[in-house]
Amino acid sequence: MRAGRAATGGRAAAAGGADYQPTPTLGGAERRGDGGVTLSGVFSPGARIRLSGADGQAFGATADAQGTWRIELPAASGPRLLKLTAEAGAGTVSGDGVVLVLPAPSFPAAVVRPGQGALAMGRVAGPPVIAALDYGATGAAAVSGLAPPGVAVRALIDETAVAMGRAAADGRFSLPLTGVTLKPGARVIRIETPAGFAAVSAQVIGAPTLKAPFRAEREAGDWRVVWALPGGGQQTTLVFDPTKGVSA
């Protein structure tokens, strides 16, 4: 898995490489009282924002004069994997990664990215939280989560330090594991910051052969989501219960 940006924003090269255009990004997610999830972000004013699933489900909104958009998704019993696109002018621009929307009590949503750690949407204040473990067939992996903005973050697997980094301005971090292959079996993941630490247990298992764009299973309060990569192959994203393993 390759190193990736810890923040949720970015800019994509336009055709020809001479200019750049903004990439639609998920800026936040909020769980409503009815169990549904409201997703939000900022793009070009007047742009048409669309979230679409492989099952044909689609949700849309138009960015207001300030470029802000909000899409309200109804409650669902299981995870949904949705592609984020924006129509502005004559073209359609795709967001980085895919939006994973989760039922309670998990994080409301996360952006899952090929070869990188997931970016969880939710609480960004307080003690650090381990949000997800991403890994592929080769054993390459990344740990991601939330911490106070700008703090240094160290990740350990089974008491061995495997990654160092820093939380972005929005409090999110994604740390690719370096110099280690994530082997199958029970693993203890720990992150340490000046603001506190967190630890969770994770079961690393081989991914099943997919017969659909993704497969999701509930495991002791966590969600294991195996999803197909655009260029072939698949990736496992293990999203942890956000109430687990938090220590100030």
- Shared domain for 114 and 75, answered yes or no, is no
> Pick from 67, 101, 135: which residue ends a domain?
101
The reply to whether 243 falls in a domain is yes
Residue 121 domain-assigned? yes
Co-location of 65 and 117 in the same domain = no
Give the CATH number, domain containing residue 74. Answer: 2.60.40.10
Last residue of a domain, one of 45, 67, 101: 101
Number of structural domains the chain divides into:
2
With respect to residue 6, please indicate whether it lies within any of the assigned structural domains: no
Q: Are residues 96 and 121 in the same domain?
A: no
- 219 with 139, same domain: the answer is yes
Residue 203 lies in a domain: yes
Report pTM: 0.87
Instruction: Say if residue 243 is in the same domain as residue 150.
Output: yes
For residue 82, the enclosing domain spans 11-101
Token duo for residue 245:
């393993």
| pLDDT confidence of residue 2 | 46
pLDDT of residue 225: 96
- Sequence-distant (6+) residues with CB within 8 A of 89 are none
pLDDT, position 20: 53
120 within some domain: yes
Whether 36 and 58 share a structural domain: yes
What region does 17 belong to: left with phi over 0, alpha with psi -120 to 50, or beta?
left
Based on the fold, state whether residues 51 and 94 are members of the same structural domain: yes
Q: How far apart are CA 155 and CA 159, in angstroms?
A: 9
Q: Both 151 and 197 in a single domain?
A: yes
Answer whether residue 3 is part of any domain.
Answer: no
Residues 212 and 134 in one domain: yes
Q: Which residues of the chain have pLDDT under 50?
A: 2-18, 248
211 domain-assigned: yes
Boundary (domain end) residue, out of 50, 67, 101: 101
CA distance 224 to 7: 23
Are residues 17 and 126 part of one domain? no
Do 44 and 141 fall into the same domain?
A: no
Q: What CA dihedral angle connects 135, 148, 96 and 217, to 10 degrees?
A: 40
Torsion (CA) 183, 186, 187, 188 in degrees, nearest 10: 180
The reported pLDDT for the residue numbered 122 is 73
SS3 assignment, position 29 = strand
233 and 115: one domain?
yes
Tokens of 73: 């998704």
Q: Has residue 115 been placed in a domain?
A: yes
